[in-house]
Amino acid sequence: MRIALIICQDTPEVIWNAFRLANLMLEGMEDVTIFLNGPSVKYERMDSDQFPLIELSKIFTLSEGVLLA
């Protein structure tokens, strides 16, 4: 199944949960694409110990997920 997630939030927790969900779906052998729109494009600036966005995005892309911005 092909799945697309569109994120257009500037809340780190929302972006973090979207990456977690996408990584979980990739483990289930789904084709997943994340499209970052608006303020979510700057997710790397929102990275923190509580919400490790850069780490999750690396896992996502290395697991053959497609990240578009």
What band does 1 get if pLDDT is binned at 50, 70 and 90? confident
pLDDT tens-digit series, residues 21-68: 999 999 988 899 999 999 999 999 999 999 999 999 999 999 999 999
pLDDT of residue 57: 97
Paired strand residues for 68: 35
pTM of the model: 0.92
Instruction: Let me know the angle formed at the C-alpha of 52 by 31 and 7, rounded to the nearest 5 degrees.
Output: 50
Asked if the model's pLDDT at residue 11 lies above 90, the reply is yes
| Among the listed residues 28, 29, 31, 38, the one whose alpha carbon sits nearest the alpha carbon of residue 6 | 38
Rg (CA), the chain: 11
